[in-house]
Structure 1
């Protein structure tokens, strides 16, 4: 497909497309050249890829409400469908030139997920029936190379679909139709909580979120029945988990990341009408998440270790090799801590070393002066 055809398919003018190309990144996967949009741009979703004459749309950014009682009726008209928001990594599958490829949030083809998905689900019957489909979902579980989180029913790595969109236009299926189709093709989906009248939704969502919070789960995504309007809300457990993670790598994550999560906690304590005692408990939990994770990282470096993002993956040797090539190709420093064979698979624990945090902690421990 020529650039002229690409801009028509994307629904933007030639001048806008020419401007967009300045922000695209060129990549290749198994000899297949493609371009993708790594950041949000007006009119084109982040993660949109142009590959083999085809357009694979990025997944839209989902807005967030900080107050359920007012945010839900301001965003939805009549009915609100509630499903679980999972803590993993976002992936979209599309069939290109006969091959099912996995696209990351930013639009790169992920070689690990592309090779691994056959272990979890068979997407070929779905794409045979619906070649234009874009299967959108979350990869979750403890043996996860990007975002590891424990789920009781997941031992290694699992896939959960949360949306179905047209690959080229990005238009979604209505929720009921989408869930019925995935059931038909035996594709596991995110948990469905129910459909609620907009006037009752805030109370129902609050109840659901409290239950998820008790199980250390992430939150919910609210949707209009036609799937076009989306809104998210996360649990306090997720906010605090994010803060603990960010402050374990304090020089690699910006203040905006931390501030946004503190703001969510502040609004949640007000909306729930928490007592001074409960608010103090929440403050104590936040303080522990922030301070203790930093303390652990400083101690690790002081004792000669290194800090970073630790992951364990289980796959074939070839799949893990291409994963490491992929990560190193993005400039990441990989330190393999354990590499073994188990039940025919290669199981590797590795650390993605975060340079800024390691270097700055070492410098400050050696007495370098902080200029503020």
Structure 2
């Protein structure tokens, strides 16, 4: 069946103007297309399998100052839920197969296998075949992020949204949470539902608590799931900067301004004293300088620098993942590669070439044009 893609995506232009921006990939011998960047009002990560559409997850705006943002953004009750630091995954069943889509719409072989191990979703998709489970995959054994949670030994999946596969329409928050509980699927933590005038204060108190525990932040949602805002902790801002300045010539500049300004607005909204603001500044400065110093020393010592990950799965799944990274031009340094029973465990570093090469250049006497 040839579908009218302009109608499917509600385009005001010719469908080919959109479709030309899709990348083509293969999964288990089957071709599909995915949209790596938002185009013509269609979300990044939208994927097409034959005539089946899986909509990308919409971008959530960030509130720098909670009280006025909540007042401007919401008219009715507001649900406050935890925002986790992992990677965004959408789970859909297509022609009987459970597939895990990353944020860009790539069907990740490792994530698909991992959620198949972690979750039994047969009953859910039997009852809701056209819905998509949107969630965060967290834990120390994943190929994309490095943040650990003490309650997660290897990997875990937490649902933060359920949406219609083709339209992207969300399930309302109460129904979504009831649905996840009914089918035994873990959800992100829910801190309550509040009237708009009380939501900002509740959100600030939640942020303070999460910050003290080194966690990422919150998402505020209208109960119908249609509107959302995110806000993050000082702890995660520093963690982001530590990561970025551990690889300064790859990520440093892009991360710096936004995180520093988030800290500035948060310090003001929290009513911090000069001493408290100075302590915030000290922690922020350390998160920038100390990892950069460590990286320069590592390059000087000839050590690999980059993002290090551990994956554990069927050998064929691990090989498919590593091959995908290499096909994308990533240089991998394998630190450990062993078998544990019928699973292959690999620890590898995605080499940060720009940081490695530029740091080595300056250590050898290279100069900077200013």
Please indicate the TM-score interval, normalised by the length of the shorter structure: over 0.9
Contact 2:11 2:40 in 1 (8 A): no
How far did 1:76 drift?
0.5
> Counterpart in 2 of 1:151?
149
How far did 1:250 drift?
0.8
How far did 1:201 drift?
1.0
How far did 1:341 drift?
2.8
> Counterpart in 2 of 1:299?
297
How far did 1:9 drift?
1.5
Which of 359, 362, 367 is the equivalent residue of 2:360?
362
* CA displacement, residues 20-65 of structure 1 (integer Å, 9 cap, x when unaligned): 1232211111221111110122310010011121110000000000
**2:264 equivalent to 1:266:** yes
Quick one: distance in 2 between partners of 1:180 and 1:31?
37
> Counterpart in 2 of 1:6?
5
Quick one: distance in 2 between partners of 1:331 and 1:184?
43
> Counterpart in 2 of 1:119?
117
CA RMSD, Structure 1 to Structure 2 (Å) = 1.2
Quick one: distance in 2 between partners of 1:167 and 1:21?
18
Quick one: distance in 1 between partners of 2:99 and 2:252?
32
Quick one: distance in 1 between partners of 2:7 and 2:33?
16
Task: Single out whichever of 113-122 and 53-62 deviates more from structure 2.
Answer: 113-122
How far did 1:144 drift?
1.6
* CA displacement, residues 242-275 of structure 1 (integer Å, 9 cap, x when unaligned): 0110011111116232211111001001111111
How far did 1:343 drift?
5.0
> Counterpart in 1 of 2:67?
69
* CA displacement, residues 157-216 of structure 1 (integer Å, 9 cap, x when unaligned): 110011000000000000000111111111111001100111011111111111101110
* CA displacement, residues 349-370 of structure 1 (integer Å, 9 cap, x when unaligned): 1100011110000101011111
**2:202 equivalent to 1:204:** yes
> Counterpart in 1 of 2:170?
172
How far did 1:345 drift?
2.9
**2:152 equivalent to 1:163:** no
Superposed, which structure 2 residues align to 1:1-372 within 5 Å?
Answer: 1-2=1-2, 4-15=3-14, 17-253=15-251, 255-342=253-340, 344-372=342-370
Quick one: distance in 2 between partners of 1:95 and 1:11?
24
Quick one: distance in 2 between partners of 1:119 and 1:27?
24
Contact 1:116 1:319 in 2 (8 A): no
Contact 1:89 1:147 in 2 (8 A): yes
Contact 1:111 1:326 in 2 (8 A): no
- Mind listing any 5+ residue stretches in structure 1 that lack a counterpart? none
Quick one: distance in 2 between partners of 1:254 and 1:309?
14
Please give the secondary structure, in 2, of the residue aligned with 1:313: strand
Please give the secondary structure, in 2, of the residue aligned with 1:252: helix
Contact 2:98 2:116 in 1 (8 A): no
How far did 1:6 drift?
2.4
Quick one: distance in 2 between partners of 1:137 and 1:234?
17
Quick one: distance in 2 between partners of 1:29 and 1:319?
11
Contact 1:52 1:97 in 2 (8 A): no
Equivalenced residues, count: 370
Quick one: distance in 2 between partners of 1:6 and 1:31?
24
Quick one: distance in 1 between partners of 2:267 and 2:55?
37
Task: Single out whichever of 310-319 and 234-243 deviates more from structure 2.
Answer: 310-319
Please give the secondary structure, in 2, of the residue aligned with 1:253: helix
Please give the secondary structure, in 2, of the residue aligned with 1:311: strand
- Mind listing any 5+ residue stretches in structure 2 that lack a counterpart? none
Normalising by structure 1, we get a TM-score of: 0.97
Quick one: distance in 1 between partners of 2:19 and 2:4?
14
